Chain A
Amino acid sequence: MWETVAQAVINGLLIGGIYALVSIGVTLIFGVVKIVNFAQGEFVMIGMYISFFLSNQFGIDPLLSLLVSMPVLFVAGVLIQHFLIRRVLGPNDMPQIFLTFALSLLLLNLALMLFTANYRTVHTSYSDEALHFLGLYVPVAKLIAFVVAMALSGALFVFLRTTDLGKAMRAAAQNRDVAMLMGINPDRVFCVALGIALALAGAAGSLLMPFYSAYPFVGQVFVLMAFVAVVLGTLGNVIGALIASLMMGIAESLGIQFVGADSGQIVVFSMLLLTLAFKPTGLGGGRAR
């Protein structure tokens, strides 16, 4: 019995690491720029395709292609902020919502046109390998993905705490107007926030590639979980999103194990509604950090 539980927790934790990368991006953008990025999932998809093509054409390991997908998406984030989002930042929410929503539909349909709806997989030497101990197993590809995801989250945390730019971002997240009065250049901060958020989505894509198939709709699978984690962990709270993602991964896994395999989302969304009912600001305590 304990083995089954432990195995379910391991499985949930590992996939939760991927949810975390996506949700941290969403929450970072929301916290700093105050917009909801509906297209975050599509950037995960782009990250996956970058890794797929690098692996397919040049035989580059998907994990190494992290070094390509992250910078490419960082630049994409900066450009999107500079040329698109910056222009619609104002008192009215609707243009912002539609901008990111349009971006999501555009990227999704472009991917359908360019790459077709085929499933693309990359097969690496470690794709089907697993570590076995005490009757439990840990798939190598997922373990690597989890460790890298946690390292990236940690790096982001250190960046936000220790560097001037990071502090400026946190300041902007806490109170944009006061931050501007303190001499923080919001455009620059916003561009970096978008860049980092998209780079994280790209990283999630590359990390997924050794064990998950790429297809145009793949982002939608992950972005739904990411939004739940963002709300659960308090909007704009990076640590909250991280913890909520891991919790959701575990809850989903335990739900599948002990309730039924079609109950994963039931468990996750019940968790969300219960949290909102008793703690409407989310588990993070209602403060953007």
Chain B
Amino acid sequence: MKKDRHDSVINNAGSNRIVAKQSNRRKFLLRTGGLIAVSALGAVPLRGWAAEPVNIGALYPTTGSMAQIGVGCVAAAKLAVEMVNDAGGIKSLGGAKLNLIISDVQSDTTVTRTETDRLITSNKLSAIHGCYASALTLIASEVAERAKVPLITGSSSDQLNKGRTYTFTPFARASQFARTQLQMAKLVGEQAKVAVIFENTAFGTSTSNGLKELAPGEGVEIVMFEPYSAGFTDASPLINKVKASGANALFSLSYLNDLILIIRTVKQVGLNIAINGGSGGFVIPDFYKNVGQLAEGLQGVAHWNHDVSEEAQRVSAEYKKRTGEFLFEYAGGLVAQTFMLADALERAGSADPQKVRAALSSLDVVKGYAAMAPGGKVKFGPDGKNIYGRPVGVQWQNGDLASVFPKEDARAPLLKL
């Protein structure tokens, strides 16, 4: 007993500490995450003969509470890499193929930090994309910033554009979502009185603050402004409050499970109110599957939609063939991101992450898969924001998510309740 303790003290001491930690981690992975390890290995093809492949890291939550979306993202990431490779890879690098290295961040901020670190230190990466939830992406982008590896992401938190030089956000920011939502609310009713409920995380807080700041300028009155903790058991008290506020439009900034509860409860209360579900869990196919008829006419806002351009429709059709669902917002955005990376690599003529970063910062595309975004143009400003980025207003119509706002991006008219 005494001897054991003595040994363990030595093991944990000084410089060996990190090694011991890693081996524990390895053991842990062996026990719990064998599956993930296998799938990650499977993504490394044996190609010694052609030009050296370019490694792209993909950080997505393929297990844990966000697994469902993470798995969809990985499917889209694989599809995008295949498309680039089938078209001849990176020509300026002798036709080098993109090699996707997938890492599971387990829907967990701590794991995201260690996985991002591990991915960067154990592979020669040219760039990274990820991680769906802004809370996770913020951490990954910090790690990537320190390691000087460019990270390109569809996550919408405005914090991603602060104090970072290696983070690129080709799509609309959370604060921009707000303006679009407010403008849509004005189209539905006369004097718009909006109740805003949002989950108290980075995503919900930044989006809702944008709404609050912009509302007076857009002539929209906010009659209720309420954060809630995600994962509640009962939405009734919250909806009770919405009812008491006398709002005629409800903005709910929530992930899927909470949103389903909220919408069902609104129906039970018999509240007649235009609901804008924002983005997140609202704009994925599973939402309609879960809510069914109740989803019809609900509005949302997205940084990408599968009908924004001909290219988008083509990719979505291919994705649907593979998975049975249309290509959802985040997954579609990351297909475009992969093509932006390919464009940057082509112009950099190098797999060196710092040169890729420089090439990304001078990216300027107006057509092709890299430009499939609302607005159809991508060019990064000094803060890594796409200067043309704008969100698209969407509405569930006959089981499909149709782009309805603004006019330039609309593929169907906005239906009023």
Say how far A68's CB is from chain B's closest CB, in angstroms: 23
- Chain A residue with the shortest CB-CB distance to B241: A257
For A4, list chain B residues within 8 Å (CB). Answer: 240, 244
A264 touches B229 (CB 8 A): yes
For B227, list chain A residues within 8 Å (CB). Answer: 260-262
Instruction: Give which listed residue, A8, A14, A217, contacts B65 with CB less than 8 A.
Output: A217
In whole angstroms, what is the CA distance A217 to B107 when docked?
Answer: 12
A118 touches B68 (CB 8 A): yes
For A18, list chain B residues within 8 Å (CB). Answer: 233
Given A212-B233, A260-B226, A261-B227, verify A132-B270 contact (CB < 8 Å).
yes
Count residues of B near A (Cβ-Cβ below 8 Å): 40
Stretch in B182-190, B260-268, B365-373 touching the partner: B260-268
B286 touches A118 (CB 8 A): yes
B237 touches A116 (CB 8 A): no
In whole angstroms, what is the CA distance A123 to B295 when docked?
Answer: 13
In whole angstroms, what is the CA distance A232 to B294 when docked?
Answer: 39
B63 touches A117 (CB 8 A): yes
Given A112-B67, A116-B68, A130-B269, verify A8-B237 contact (CB < 8 Å).
yes
B222 at the interface (CB under 8 A from A): no
B250 at the interface (CB under 8 A from A): no
B interface, over-half SS: helix
In whole angstroms, what is the CA distance A15 to B267 when docked?
Answer: 18
- Chain A residue with the shortest CB-CB distance to B67: A117
Given A117-B67, A262-B228, verify A15-B270 contact (CB < 8 Å).
no
In whole angstroms, what is the CA distance A113 to B357 when docked?
Answer: 38
Say how far B282's CB is from chain A's closest CB, in angstroms: 13
Say how far A44's CB is from chain B's closest CB, in angstroms: 11
For A261, list chain B residues within 8 Å (CB). Answer: 197, 226-229, 237-238, 241
A127 at the interface (CB under 8 A from B): yes
A139 touches B268 (CB 8 A): yes
Say how far A155's CB is from chain B's closest CB, in angstroms: 24
A53 at the interface (CB under 8 A from B): no
In whole angstroms, what is the CA distance A217 to B66 when docked?
Answer: 11
A256 touches B233 (CB 8 A): no
For B294, list chain A residues within 8 Å (CB). Answer: 128
A130 touches B268 (CB 8 A): yes
In whole angstroms, what is the CA distance A139 to B234 when docked?
Answer: 11
A253 at the interface (CB under 8 A from B): yes
In whole angstroms, what is the CA distance A221 to B355 when docked?
Answer: 47
For B257, list chain A residues within 8 Å (CB). Answer: 119, 213, 215
B32 touches A109 (CB 8 A): yes
User: CB within 8 Å of B: which of A178-236?
Assistant: 211-213, 215, 217, 221-222, 225
- Chain A residue with the shortest CB-CB distance to B230: A262
User: CB within 8 Å of A: which of B259-304?
Assistant: 260-261, 264-265, 267-270, 286, 290-292, 294
For B35, list chain A residues within 8 Å (CB). Answer: 113
Say how far A228's CB is from chain B's closest CB, in angstroms: 13
For A139, list chain B residues within 8 Å (CB). Answer: 236, 265, 268
Say how far B281's CB is from chain A's closest CB, in angstroms: 9
Mark A118-138 against chain B: 1 for CB-CB distance below 8 A, else 0. Answer: 110101000111101000010
In whole angstroms, what is the CA distance A225 to B227 when docked?
Answer: 21
In whole angstroms, what is the CA distance A264 to B231 when docked?
Answer: 11
Say how far B416's CB is from chain A's closest CB, in angstroms: 22
For B65, list chain A residues within 8 Å (CB). Answer: 117, 215, 217
In whole angstroms, what is the CA distance A27 to B239 when docked?
Answer: 32
- Chain A residue with the shortest CB-CB distance to B271: A137
Residue among B229, B234, B240 with most chain A CB within 10 A: B234
A117 touches B270 (CB 8 A): no
Say how far A111's CB is from chain B's closest CB, in angstroms: 12
For A14, list chain B residues within 8 Å (CB). Answer: 234, 236
A12 touches B290 (CB 8 A): no
B270 touches A130 (CB 8 A): yes
Instruction: Give which listed residue, B63, B197, B232, B237, contacts A112 with CB less than 8 A.
Output: B63
For A217, list chain B residues within 8 Å (CB). Answer: 65
A104 at the interface (CB under 8 A from B): no
For A129, list chain B residues within 8 Å (CB). Answer: 268
For A130, list chain B residues within 8 Å (CB). Answer: 268-270
In whole angstroms, what is the CA distance A247 to B122 when docked?
Answer: 53
For B66, list chain A residues within 8 Å (CB). Answer: 117
In whole angstroms, what is the CA distance A217 to B233 when docked?
Answer: 12
- Chain A residue with the shortest CB-CB distance to B35: A113
A15 touches B233 (CB 8 A): yes
B42 at the interface (CB under 8 A from A): no
For B290, list chain A residues within 8 Å (CB). Answer: 119, 121, 213
For A7, list chain B residues within 8 Å (CB). Answer: 236, 240
B143 at the interface (CB under 8 A from A): no
In whole angstroms, what is the CA distance A109 to B286 when docked?
Answer: 22
- Chain B residue with the shortest CB-CB distance to A118: B68
B226 touches A253 (CB 8 A): no
B64 at the interface (CB under 8 A from A): yes
For A264, list chain B residues within 8 Å (CB). Answer: 228-229, 232, 237
Residue pairs across A and B with Cβ atoms less than 8 A apart, 18 shown, are A7-B240, A15-B233, A116-B68, A117-B63, A117-B67, A118-B286, A119-B260, A127-B264, A137-B268, A211-B261, A213-B290, A215-B65, A221-B231, A256-B237, A257-B237, A261-B228, A261-B237, A262-B200
Given contacts A215-B65, A257-B240, 8 further A-B contacts (CB under 8 A): A7-B236, A11-B234, A18-B233, A121-B290, A130-B268, A213-B257, A222-B233, A261-B229
* Chain B contact residues, CB within 8 Å of chain A: 32, 35, 63-68, 71, 197, 200, 226-229, 231-234, 236-238, 240-241, 244, 256-257, 260-261, 264-265, 267-270, 286, 290-292, 294
Ranked nearest first, the 9 interchain pairs of A and B with the lowest CB-CB distance are A261-B228, A117-B67, A256-B237, A11-B236, A130-B268, A15-B234, A128-B267, A253-B237, A262-B229
